[in-house]
Structure 1
Amino acid sequence: MHTSFGPPDVVQVVEKPVPALRRDDVLVKVHATTVTSAECAMRRGEPRWGRVVLGLRRPRPRLRTLGLEVAGVVESAGSGVTRFRPGDQVFGFTGFSVGGHAEYVRLPAEGSLCRKPESVTFAEAAAIVDGATTALFFLRDRAGVRPGSGCWSTAPPGASAPTPSSWPSTWAPWSPPSAARRTSSW
């Protein structure tokens, strides 16, 4: 957690209570998380105009424990949760509630959270969240790519580039470059 803006040295390891479980939430014991460029900027208090949200002079209390992507095991589920059970391996995005750098994080069961495939490690699952959500946002929401349409990724391998190729055929907007198909001009 960090109580001031600045370089990595401002981050401290502290003991915090386990978040209280609410009716529609799950409590996840974090096994892996990420440190993204967005979180580094938040820790530094940048961009300056972002301090309206982050805190003008120091981080707001609810934003002091960073961590946007997590992978872990459901420790407990609220009484209204039917999607997950204790013991389920999950991964997802904390959204603006952050907190993924803690030992436990409380997440809405109907939020950006899903079961982790057995063939994927916790570290791999946490790492894919940022690239996948970024690719999904730009392809589906901004470019309007829909099931059955195709697009050609010219980006080098990275967090966002390989992601569309691994999406299920129910939402398969990507064609391999070898097909040399370009159905979307951006």
Structure 2
Amino acid sequence: MVNVNDTDALIIVDVQNDFCSGGSLPVPDAELIIDPINRLQRFFDYLYFSRDWHPNDHCSFRDNPHFDEGCWPSHCVQNSPGAEFHGDMRIPVDATIIDKATTAEKDAYSAFDGTDLSTRLERRKTKRVFVVGLALDFCVKATALDALQNGFKAFVIRNATRAVFPENEAAVYAELQAAGVELIDSEDLS
């Protein structure tokens, strides 16, 4: 059992329409994590919702002729329906929204990359972060690993995340554990 304390934070990564069914880059079974995430929120005083918030000419878009590194379909374009949080996600009024990858030239998988998330957590004396959301094999993994690099103890809640490539889940979990991230399920929290 993991006892959540009043300085712990829940980081909810990219549960946006474009990563769910009908979106431009759907993660298999993405909707299955929404109910667990909504239930997890009651344990935490501090909730951080990250979102991809790309300009329409973002470097990660494979149809962008100005950048060679683009490998994804256009997704989560600023102020578009695809960039909105999934309609079933509970987002409290006092939750903090973290926008990432907001310029055309730079991609960012981690909610820490190019944002003030670490500073916000430090101000609140946070020592432990619990990471959930989409997608395990990219943004959730990068956020958990960056949490460690920023001096936080990191947990990934397995039943509240899904991978773009489900066949890679075991390898991603092994990588996270080897780095020092703790893997738990939502039932392990009290």
Q: TM-score, normalised by structure 1?
A: 0.27
Q: TM-score, normalised by structure 2?
A: 0.27
When Rg is computed on C-alpha atoms for both structures, the one with the higher figure is 1
Q: Identify the structure with bigger relative contact order (alpha carbons < 8 Å, sequence gap 6+).
A: 2
